[in-house]
Amino acid sequence: MVLVTAALLYLSLFGLHIGSMNIKGADEMRFGIDIRGGVEATYTPKDLGRAPTAEELESAKTIIETRMDAENITDREVTIDSTNGAVIVRFPWKSDEADFDPQQAISELGETALLTFKDPDGNVVLQGSDVSKSYASLDKNTGSYVVILELSSAGTKKFAEATSRLVGKDISIYMDENEISSPTVHQAITDGSAMITNQKDLETAKNLAAKINSGSLPFSMVAHDANIISPTLGMDALNIMVLAGKIAFALVCVFMLLYYRLPGFVACIALLLQVVGQLLALSIPQFTLTLPGIAGVILSIGMGVDANVIVSERIKEELNAGKTLRSAIDAGFHRAFSSVFDGNVTVIIVSIVLIILGSGSMLSFGYTLLCGVLMNFLAGVTASRLMIRSLSEFKGLQKPVLFGARRMAE
Amino acid sequence: MKVINFFKNRYIYFGISSLIIITGIILAFAYGIKLDIQFQGGTLLKYTYVGDINTEEAAALVENVLGKETNCQEQTTVATNEQTLVVSLADNESITSQEQETVTDTLTAAYPDAQLDLAASQSVEPYTGARFFRNGILAILISFVLILLYVGYRFRKIGGISAGVMAIVALFHDAFVVAAVFIVFQIPLNDSFIAAVLTIIGFSINDTIVIYDRIRENKTLMGPKTSTEELVNTSITQSMSRSINTSVAVFVSITIVYIFAQIYNIESIKDFALPMMFGTVSGCYSTICIAGPLWTMWKNHEAKTNLKKA
């Protein structure tokens, strides 16, 4: 039993070690833009009288991604919300980018892409609007993936002229100022159907096709829903909350120690274990932690304190009722379990409702809450019981005063 | 341990709660319930600056270029003594990032010495906001129903549904107190509101369940002859120190968070922590003074009707 305690203590300390490593390597923990600063924008088509098609949204997404690549913004999330016909973009605003203008960045990302095909001398031979359709396909002869381009009639003429002139040379395709592909012309193409061969895999081929399609996208994107938070504002909030959290945690521990003595000490370790587990649950799957998510952590710490308070109270009561230490601890945990269980299950229900219904802040709150409550079962109930049982094996610790009780049966 | 007679004083508790709720409703009519732009749509821009800016003049400038009614306010952060200019559009319109750029350019040009710097901006389409709000309220209501079903099932021994209904009454009570805090302090309802209500619901239901659990246990221990009144009074008294200790721990923690947020002017946290402080007290109070006594009344009433039938 003593060994088990030691093992659990070690586990929680070791866990803490891993946990603090994750906190220290702040890049490893994924913070929402409300914490570290950043931009969140929902782009919708401008002046389009209908809902955009799935292909159009895909193209719009690749336009935004290509531009972000060019700006070297790699840590980003670009997702398509097909039910609302929108593209959602999130990216951090790093504190060293003092001259970064987020409003301008949002505007520029949504602009219509200028897609051009240029010969080696830089003359434009074809424009995005000359391509009526582009898609990925599998070339049965070679077994490799290709991108097919179907040209409009005007495009067919222009392309026939250019390809007959440029056999053996490259035609480079640009989106804005970024080169996205540079295939070599093998023969003159006069039938309006071109093929770019040798794509690495289906994914690459699809991506290139979407980029080429973006040249004929009939609309630009604007962001009516946008959130910008400067990194200083965000990071300050995080540091202050972490400090407030530490002070609050320390006070709770002092309170538990003074009021419940030995069970209080065990409770503090169990709480630490719970918080560490919760942080790991956030950092390992790279779940984005937002401010409401921190609220979820606070609530689950509260639940954890409660579980320990219930147990400690119960043990004290059983001792006062004349039980031996051993049976008081057993009875205390046994009796407390049903209420801790029911309390936790209701909170789990609430958190699952939030995860299903909520997006953004509510989702983050629900997730941290769910992890915290599950950890509470593990740390607050199971681990506490093992620790307190084994500690009570020590003769020196078998004193009623250590349990806040008036007496203790032998 | 001396058993405190909570049931006897029930009308005092009900009176206090009614008073709070009625005050809340009156103030809601007097002040009106404000929704944050998160829920009703709109645009908010925040700039840090130095020196002096006449807010009315700034508002007029922005109004001029956008052609939309605008409000400007200034805020100062206590800890850092930083000044913030808050620009908001009066009607619930959202503007594009292009229009936002115009606002920034106009203000920078008008106040070249103020070192205007964009700290935050938020722009929400009215229909997106409405969807968020609907989802939030829906989440609260669905949680209520599921809690009712779960409590009803788990506490069927002490009359399931009645216990569930009274737990929900206590939850409505707490949700209302949280809403009242938003109204009294004139904080526009935003997602902190949803988060605070949900957190308090979590606490309060947990609190109520601990007492129900004690009632369930005591029902077996004290035997069938014990009156409901005595059963409930004993159970609440026994769990008193636990209820209060937990609430004190949470209240102290959240108060520390609030103090820090207040000093450093972190609005999102402030808007969450303040209602939470009141909600924690309300959650503890509603469990002890509302859910228990109400449940006793229901049970007594049930017993009487059964007697008449027999």
pTM above 0.95, yes or no: no
Residue A28 and residue B292: Cα distance in Å, rounded?
47
Strands A193-199 and A145-151: antiparallel
10 Å Cβ neighbour count for B185?
Answer: 13
Give the pLDDT mean for B202-208. Answer: 83
Strand partners, A178: A175
- Give the pLDDT of residue B90: 66
Residue B172 and residue A145: Cα distance in Å, rounded?
60
Tell me if chain A has a CB within 8 Å of the CB of B125. Answer: yes
Give the pLDDT mean for B129-158. Answer: 84
Place of tokens 């009215």: B126
A251, A342, A354: residue with CB nearest B154: A342
Q: What's the token pair of residue B286?
A: 């509603």
Q: Hey, are the CB atoms on B122 and A345 less than 8 Å from each other? A: no
Alpha helix (H) residue ranges in A81-132 = 102-110
Using a CB cutoff of 8 Å and minimum separation of 24, what contacts does A387-390 make? A387/A5, A387/A8, A387/A9, A387/A266, A387/A269, A387/A270, A388/A262, A388/A263, A388/A266, A388/A315, A388/A329, A389/A1, A389/A329, A390/A1, A390/A2, A390/A3, A390/A4, A390/A5
Tell me if chain B has a CB within 8 Å of the CB of A41. Answer: yes
10 Å Cβ neighbour count for B113?
Answer: 9
Q: Hey, are the CB atoms on B97 and A362 less than 8 Å from each other? A: no
- Give the pLDDT of residue A27: 44
Q: Are A79 and A57 contacting, i.e. CB atoms less than 8 angstroms apart?
A: no
**Per-residue pLDDT tens over the stretch B219-243:** 888 877 778 888 888 888 888 888 8
10 Å Cβ neighbour count for A404?
Answer: 19
Q: Are A386 and A7 contacting, i.e. CB atoms less than 8 angstroms apart?
A: no
Q: Hey, are the CB atoms on A298 and B257 less than 8 Å from each other? A: yes
Question: Helices A325-357 and A384-391, interaxial angle, to 10°?
Answer: 160
Strands A38-45 and A77-81: unpaired
Size of interface A-B (CB pairs under 8 A): 210
Q: Hey, are the CB atoms on A299 and B203 less than 8 Å from each other? A: yes
With contacts defined as CB-CB under 8 Å, which chain B residues touch A299? Answer: 199, 202-203
Q: Are A404 and A386 contacting, i.e. CB atoms less than 8 angstroms apart?
A: no
Strands B42-49 and A178-181: unpaired
Q: Hey, are the CB atoms on B256 and A41 less than 8 Å from each other? A: no
Tell me if chain B has a CB within 8 Å of the CB of A244. Answer: yes
Strands B117-124 and B70-76: unpaired
Residue B168 has pLDDT above 80, yes or no: yes
Residue environment code for B1-39, b if the CB has 16+ CB neighbours within 10 A, otherwise e: eeeeebbeebeebeeebeebbeebeeeeeeeeeebbbbb
Low-confidence ranges of chain A (pLDDT < 70): 1-30, 94-99, 232-235, 284-285, 358-361, 405, 407-410
Which regions of chain A carry the CATH code 3.30.1360.200?
Answer: 115-214
With contacts defined as CB-CB under 8 Å, which chain A residues touch B249? Answer: 252, 255-256, 302, 305, 309
Q: Hey, are the CB atoms on B209 and A342 less than 8 Å from each other? A: yes
Which regions of chain A carry the CATH code 1.20.1640.10?
Answer: 2-33+230-403
Residue B184 and residue B34: Cα distance in Å, rounded?
11
* Distance of residue B47 Cα from the nearest chain A Cα, in angstroms: 10
- Give the pLDDT of residue A13: 54
Q: Are A371 and A281 contacting, i.e. CB atoms less than 8 angstroms apart?
A: yes
- Among residues B176, B129, B196, the alpha carbon closest in space to that of A365 is found at B196
Tell me if chain B has a CB within 8 Å of the CB of A248. Answer: yes
Residues in chain B: 310
Query: Which CATH class for the A36-113+223-229 domain?
Result: alpha beta
Residue B27 and residue B33: Cα distance in Å, rounded?
9
A107, A305, A346: residue with CB nearest B98: A107
B101, B199, B212: residue with CB nearest A103: B101
Tell me if chain A has a CB within 8 Å of the CB of B262. Answer: no
- Among residues A207, A153, A152, the alpha carbon closest in space to that of A180 is found at A207
**CB proximity list for A52: less than 8 A, separation 6 or greater:** A45, A60, A85, A219
**Per-residue pLDDT tens over the stretch A268-303:** 888 888 887 777 777 766 777 777 777 778 778 878
Place of tokens 């998510």: A293
Q: How does DSSP classify residue B288? A: I
Residue B49 has pLDDT above 60, yes or no: yes
* Distance of residue A213 Cα from the nearest chain B Cα, in angstroms: 25
Q: Hey, are the CB atoms on B100 and A103 less than 8 Å from each other? A: yes
With contacts defined as CB-CB under 8 Å, which chain A residues touch B104? Answer: 103
Q: Hey, are the CB atoms on A248 and B154 less than 8 Å from each other? A: no
Place of tokens 């006449």: B54
Which regions of chain A carry the CATH code 3.30.70.3400?
Answer: 36-113+223-229
- Give the pLDDT of residue A25: 36
* Domains in chain B with CATH codes: 10-36+128-309 (1.20.1640.10), 42-124 (3.30.70.3220)
Q: Hey, are the CB atoms on B120 and A233 less than 8 Å from each other? A: yes
Provide CATH code, domain A2-33+230-403.
1.20.1640.10
Task: State whether the Cα torsion B282-B285-B290-B296 is positive or negative.
Answer: positive
Q: Hey, are the CB atoms on A34 and B241 less than 8 Å from each other? A: no
Q: Where is B75: in which H helix or E strand?
A: strand B70-76
Question: A115-214: which CATH topology?
Answer: Gyrase A; domain 2 (3.30.1360)
* Distance of residue B225 Cα from the nearest chain A Cα, in angstroms: 23
Q: Hey, are the CB atoms on B125 and A34 less than 8 Å from each other? A: no
Using a CB cutoff of 8 Å and minimum separation of 24, what contacts does B97-100 make? B97/A41, B97/A103, B97/A104, B97/A106, B97/A107, B97/A110, B97/A222, B97/A223, B97/A226, B97/B123, B98/A107, B98/A222, B99/B66, B100/A103, B100/A106, B100/A226, B100/B43, B100/B45
Task: State whether the Cα torsion A323-A328-A332-A334 is positive or negative.
Answer: negative
Residue B193 and residue B39: Cα distance in Å, rounded?
11
**Which of B97, B215, B262, B263 is the best residue to mutate to test the A interface, defined by the most A CB atoms within 10 Å of its own CB?**
B97
From residue A157, alpha-carbon distances to A161, B97, B301 in Å are 6, 40, 90
Give the pLDDT mean for B142-154. Answer: 86
Q: Hey, are the CB atoms on B98 and A41 less than 8 Å from each other? A: no
**CB proximity list for A49: less than 8 A, separation 6 or greater:** none
Query: Which residue of chain B comes nearest to A45, CA vs CA?
Result: B96
- Give the pLDDT of residue A23: 43
Residues in chain A: 410
Residue environment code for B125-136, b if the CB has 16+ CB neighbours within 10 A, otherwise e: bbebbbebbebb
**CB proximity list for B273: less than 8 A, separation 6 or greater:** B254, B255, B257, B258, B261
Q: Hey, are the CB atoms on B242 and A310 less than 8 Å from each other? A: yes
Which positions 109-138 of A are in contact with B (Cβ < 8 Å)? 110
Tell me if chain A has a CB within 8 Å of the CB of B5. Answer: no
**CB proximity list for A73: less than 8 A, separation 6 or greater:** A91
Is residue A174 helix, strand or coil?
strand
Q: Hey, are the CB atoms on B249 and A309 less than 8 Å from each other? A: yes
Strands B83-89 and B70-76: antiparallel
Q: Hey, are the CB atoms on A292 and B124 less than 8 Å from each other? A: no
- Half-sphere exposure at residue B113, Cβ-oriented, CA atoms within 13 angstroms: 3
With contacts defined as CB-CB under 8 Å, which chain B residues touch A248? Answer: 252-254, 256-257
Tell me if chain B has a CB within 8 Å of the CB of A245. Answer: yes
Where is pLDDT greater, at A10 or B196?
B196
Is residue A90 helix, strand or coil?
strand
- Give the pLDDT of residue A235: 67
Q: Where is B302: in which H helix or E strand?
A: helix B292-309
In terms of Cβ atoms closer than 10 Å to its own Cβ (0-12, 13-18, 19+), residue A258 is exposed
Q: What's the token pair of residue A108?
A: 């520029």
Give the pLDDT mean for B274-298. Answer: 87
Q: Hey, are the CB atoms on A362 and B191 less than 8 Å from each other? A: yes
**CB proximity list for A102: less than 8 A, separation 6 or greater:** A39, A93, A228, B118, B121
Q: Hey, are the CB atoms on B118 and A232 less than 8 Å from each other? A: no
Please name the amino acid found at residue B50. V
Please name the amino acid found at residue A354. L
Strand partners, A229: A38, B120
- Give the pLDDT of residue A24: 39
Tell me if chain B has a CB within 8 Å of the CB of A322. Answer: no
- Give the pLDDT of residue A22: 43
Q: Hey, are the CB atoms on B121 and A303 less than 8 Å from each other? A: no
* Distance of residue B22 Cα from the nearest chain A Cα, in angstroms: 28
